[in-house]
Amino acid sequence: MADWQEIPGGITAPKGYRAAGMAAGLKPSGLPDLALIVSDVEAIAAGVFTTNQVRAACVDYCRQRLQAKSSARAILCNAGQANAATGTQGWEDALDSAQSLSQLLHVPPESILLASTGVIGQRIKLDKLKAALPQMIAALSETGSEAAARAIMTTDLVPKAIALETVLHDRPVRIGGIAKGSGMIHPNMATMLAFVTCDAAVSPHLWQQMLSRAADRSFNQITVDGDTSTNDSLFALANGESRTPAITEPGTEADKLEAMLTEVCIYLAKAIARDGEGATCLLEVQVSGAVDDESARRVARTIAGSSLVKSAIFGRDPNWGRIAGAAGRAGVSFDQNDLQIGLGPFLMMQNGQPQPFDRAAANAYLKQAAEGAYLREDTVLITVSIGHGHGSGTAWGCDLSYDYVKINAEYTT
């Protein structure tokens, strides 16, 4: 049984955080497009970023900031323009937006973290962003999580938020988070933004380690379309407002906090995969029997990212051969005579040998999963064993539908 419980409040559930979201005129649609998250006090900050060599100005800005100073007061996120591949002017726009917000919040510019999402090659509409900041600050609220979650959306169909609570040293400790992502989703880091808040006190080095490990088990295990974005950023703030003793070393309390942090990240990662552009169901791939966890995670990612597997799932075709093929090309050595494959409740291969199964029932399983009506709601479960090792890992993705092409064929038009 988990050592935490889900609570309402999202990003503002932890003590000492406020958030807001509004339409600043950055999107042509007029939908909300600017979000702000503020900690009442300086918070320990950690980050994980895209590995793409073409990076948005905000990514380089935040990497530099966190290398120089592992704390922050605010996260400002705009939607509509990615401010990636915008050259020196895009960099100046990032600096200008941070400076403008810092003056209004009366905090150093170094305490501002930035994130952007939208069309690559387009600069932020800086005049509109700066004009909206006073109203945004006035709207900051302890109930502002929903507004902030909606303001960071692009092609997302639904906002994504979660908050969990546990007890450390007889006091409640909370972690909340919001995320966006629907297309350009692939590990390292996937096309996504995620912001996490915590009211525990944690040393900077330990907090960064926790976040990096949580990312490896969550956001780096999701894929929608195989494209890694220019803007992917994951931020986590820990402000100590729970008034619990500071966690400075590995141990029971650190493990408990990291487990809850990982659970928040997994929830948000699955929400992104579930909301994949054009998707009709969530795909969960569980791999076991590997020599180590990283090998298992690699096989799981490869299967979840296979266009052939994803297309078969969309076509409600229980074509387990595509799963076997994807497992075999993952770059992980195993004996094919040890291979076992399951689709939901159906065993399709065991000890490298095909197994008889009810194809009509398996087809119905896929159809019902797409309708959210089967045992695991909208989730198609694929289980794979590749040997007798202790390594295991899970990845999440979605099916590949006609609508994915339609959405992305018209993205800038």
Which amino acids are annotated catalytic? 191
- Alpha-carbon span 38 to 36, nearest angstrom: 7
- Alpha-carbon span 205 to 190, nearest angstrom: 24
96-109 core/surface letters (b: 16 or more CB in 10 A; e: else): ebbebbbeebebee
DSSP per residue over 382-410, as a string?
A: EEEE-SS-SEEEEEEEE---HHHHHHHHT
Beta strands in 291-331 (DSSP E): none
- Alpha-carbon span 338 to 353, nearest angstrom: 9
Beta strands in 28-83 (DSSP E): 34-49, 71-81
Strands 233-238, 193-198: pairing kind = parallel
- Alpha-carbon span 264 to 6, nearest angstrom: 10
Number of C-alpha atoms within 13 angstroms, CB side, residue 78?
Answer: 30
Let me know if 310 is exposed, middle or buried by CB neighbors in 10 A (0-12, 13-18, 19+).
Answer: buried
